[in-house]
């Protein structure tokens, strides 16, 4: 059965005491909300209930009165507090049956890892008799798809990477086919170094001129704002062409701040630039403690251009390994333009790379002084010709300061790489 309704309504139901009691952060429902919205399905309610059959049953019943799609996460583990499957059986008035396909998936999961399968694991392959089994590539908890009275119910594990993989591989394609959703296409412009309200002022006239079937959203995140254009239409290709034309129209207004599009991350963008220039990179990190190297190496293939890093938390390593001059440390302090410059140049020389990045700052919560409060950070990028430095004045939260410094030093590299290298 397929639906041609203009708006499919969805509810997301999360099961687990740990969410109600505030013991884990629920990142699943935000992610699901975004994916459904991208598909043209409208989330109308999110509900979380505990590991309690009566509460789950009433939430399922209420949701089925209001929405055509109900997505349920959590409560599918092998232990006693996981009661979603039994409760779904009561809701659909059916029983658990051993599912052969699910049993094979669970068995192969254990065989691959060379581990014994327990009876509890075997029970994970028992599913409500009326469901379609959705294979979980990353774990032993099943995905399940139910249809009743023109409504779809999907039950997924609560572990985020298992849930996301099941959604992307199995659920979203099925939803697209079942509900015949209109074509919805996105283009995202990724900016860095400009606040949301300043960005909004710069592009106000363009935003006001957008046609009704193209919507703009500002998605601020750590150190950057993404501009998401969402177009709705009948055909994919003309819609994408329209979106691309709008991107081309707005770009001249904000070009200085744009580092990429769609899924681009700043570390992916600089990686591509380094490969193109056949250049190499190293880092010398103090306050970022290795996060710059971690983000660079999170990109598959980064070993082509990344040579390594020195995390110089102590001054002894700044002088001993990176070759920072003890007199610079004494005269200017570890958090200074001179020291961060010598760190970048030291890493570049030690690791023999084309470019090197360096960070030195007071991440907090302690270590601030009146002259250099918490959040004072120097960053540097050494090239074959010069070393560029910048002073950041960040906030008082350690984790934020480390994350922002990492983003800004990668952006400093991006800006440096935009200038073609002159090989004398």
What gap in Å lies between CA 159 and CA 141, rounded to an integer? 9
The stretch near a copy of itself (CB under 8 A) out of 92-100, 217-225, 246-254, 336-344 is: 217-225
Nearest distance from C-beta of residue 397 to a copy of itself, angstroms: 8
The stretch near a copy of itself (CB under 8 A) out of 48-56, 85-93, 251-259, 337-345 is: 48-56
* Interface pattern 223-262 for a copy of itself (x via CB under 8 A): -----x-x--------------------------------
- Closer by beta carbon to a copy of itself, 129 or else 369: 369
Are 26 and 19 within 8 A, CB to CB? yes
Question: How many chain residues are in contact with a copy of itself, going by CB under 8 A?
Answer: 109
CA distances from 166 to 21, 78, 157, 384 (A): 26, 18, 9, 47
CB atoms within 10 A of CB 185: 18
**Residue numbers 92-121 binding a copy of itself by CB under 8 A:** 113-115, 118, 120-121
Judged by CB under 8 A, the residue of 238, 326, 365, 384 near a copy of itself is: 365
Judged by CB under 8 A, the residue of 314, 327, 331, 369 near a copy of itself is: 314
Q: What is the DSSP string of 139-157?
A: SSSPEEEEEETTEEEEEE-
Vertex 239, ends 221 and 229: CA angle to 5°? Answer: 15
**Residue numbers 1-40 binding a copy of itself by CB under 8 A:** 14, 17-27, 29-37
- Closer by beta carbon to a copy of itself, 50 or else 182: 50
**Residue numbers 142-171 binding a copy of itself by CB under 8 A:** 159, 161
What gap in Å lies between CA 257 and CA 200, rounded to an integer? 13
Residue 347: partners with Cβ closer than 8 Å, 6 or more residues away: 282, 283, 284, 309, 310, 322, 353, 356, 357, 358, 382
Nearest distance from C-beta of residue 110 to a copy of itself, angstroms: 10
**Residue numbers 259-288 binding a copy of itself by CB under 8 A:** 283, 285, 288
CA distances from 111 to 107, 186, 361 (A): 6, 41, 49
What gap in Å lies between CA 242 and CA 41, rounded to an integer? 22
- Closer by beta carbon to a copy of itself, 147 or else 196: 196
DSSP H stretches of helix in 138-265 = 160-166, 172-179, 196-202, 204-208, 236-254
Nearest distance from C-beta of residue 78 to a copy of itself, angstroms: 5
Judged by CB under 8 A, the residue of 151, 164, 294, 372 near a copy of itself is: 294
Helices 53-66/84-92 angle, 10° precision: 50
CB atoms within 10 A of CB 89: 19
Are 355 and 280 within 8 A, CB to CB? yes
Nearest distance from C-beta of residue 88 to a copy of itself, angstroms: 18
Judged by CB under 8 A, the residue of 133, 206, 218, 332 near a copy of itself is: 218
Cis previous bond, 241, omega within 30: no
Nearest distance from C-beta of residue 77 to a copy of itself, angstroms: 6
What gap in Å lies between CA 290 and CA 274, rounded to an integer? 20
- Asked if 62 is part of the footprint of a copy of itself (rule: CB under 8 A), the reply reads yes
- Asked if 60 is part of the footprint of a copy of itself (rule: CB under 8 A), the reply reads no
- Closer by beta carbon to a copy of itself, 385 or else 393: 393
The stretch near a copy of itself (CB under 8 A) out of 170-178, 188-196, 245-253, 408-416 is: 188-196
- Asked if 326 is part of the footprint of a copy of itself (rule: CB under 8 A), the reply reads no
Reported as half-sphere exposure (CB side, CA atoms, 13 A), residue 142 has a value of 29
- Closer by beta carbon to a copy of itself, 201 or else 256: 201
Nearest to 376, CA basis, from 351, 421, 340: 340
């Amino acid at each position: 059965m397929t639906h041609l309704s203009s708006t499919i309504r969805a509810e997301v139901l999360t099961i687990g005491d740990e969410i109600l009691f505030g013991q884990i952060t629920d990142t699943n429902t935000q992610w699901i909300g975004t994916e459904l919205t991208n598909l043209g399905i409208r989330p109308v309610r999110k509900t979380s209930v505990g590991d309690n059959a009566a509460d789950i049953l009433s939430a399922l019943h209420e949701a089925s009165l209001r929405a055509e799609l109900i997505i349920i996460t959590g409560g599918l583990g092998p232990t006693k507090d996981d009661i979603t499957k039994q409760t779904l059986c009561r809701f659909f008035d059916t029983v658990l049956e051993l599912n052969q396909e699910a049993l094979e998936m669970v068995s192969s999961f254990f065989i691959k890892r060379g581990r014994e399968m327990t009876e509890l694991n075997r029970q994970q392959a028992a599913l409500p008799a009326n469901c379609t089994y959705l294979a979980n590539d990353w774990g032993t908890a099943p995905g399940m798809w139910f249809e009743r009275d023109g409504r779809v119910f999907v039950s997924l594990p609560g572990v985020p990477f298992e849930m996301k993989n099941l959604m992307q591989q199995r659920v979203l394609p099925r939803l697209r086919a079942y509900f015949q959703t209109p074509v919805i296409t996105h283009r995202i412009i990724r900016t860095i170094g400009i606040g949301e309200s300043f960005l909004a002022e710069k592009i106000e006239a363009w935003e006001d001129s957008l046609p009704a079937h193209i919507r703009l959203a500002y998605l601020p995140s750590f150190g950057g704002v993404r501009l998401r254009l969402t177009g709705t239409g009948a055909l994919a290709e003309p819609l994408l062409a329209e979106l691309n034309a709008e991107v081309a129209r707005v770009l001249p207004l904000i070009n200085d701040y744009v580092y990429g599009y769609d899924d681009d991350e700043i570390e992916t963008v600089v990686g591509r630039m380094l490969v193109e220039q056949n250049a190499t990179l190293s880092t010398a990190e103090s306050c970022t403690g290795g996060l710059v190297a971690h983000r660079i190496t999170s990109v598959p293939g980064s070993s082509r251009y990344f040579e390594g890093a020195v995390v110089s938390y102590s001054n002894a390593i700044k002088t001993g390994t990176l070759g920072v001059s003890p007199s610079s440390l004494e005269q200017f302090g570890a958090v200074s333009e001179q020291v961060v410059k010598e760190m970048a140049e030291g890493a570049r020389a030690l690791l023999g790379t084309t470019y090197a990045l360096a960070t030195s700052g007071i991440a907090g919560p302690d270590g601030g002084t009146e002259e250099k409060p918490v959040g004072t950070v120097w960053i540097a990028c050494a090239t074959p010709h010069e070393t560029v430095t910048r002073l950041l004045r960040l906030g008082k939260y350690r984790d934020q300061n480390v994350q922002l410094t990492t983003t800004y030093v990668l952006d400093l590299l991006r800006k440096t790489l935009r200038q073609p290298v002159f090989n004398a």
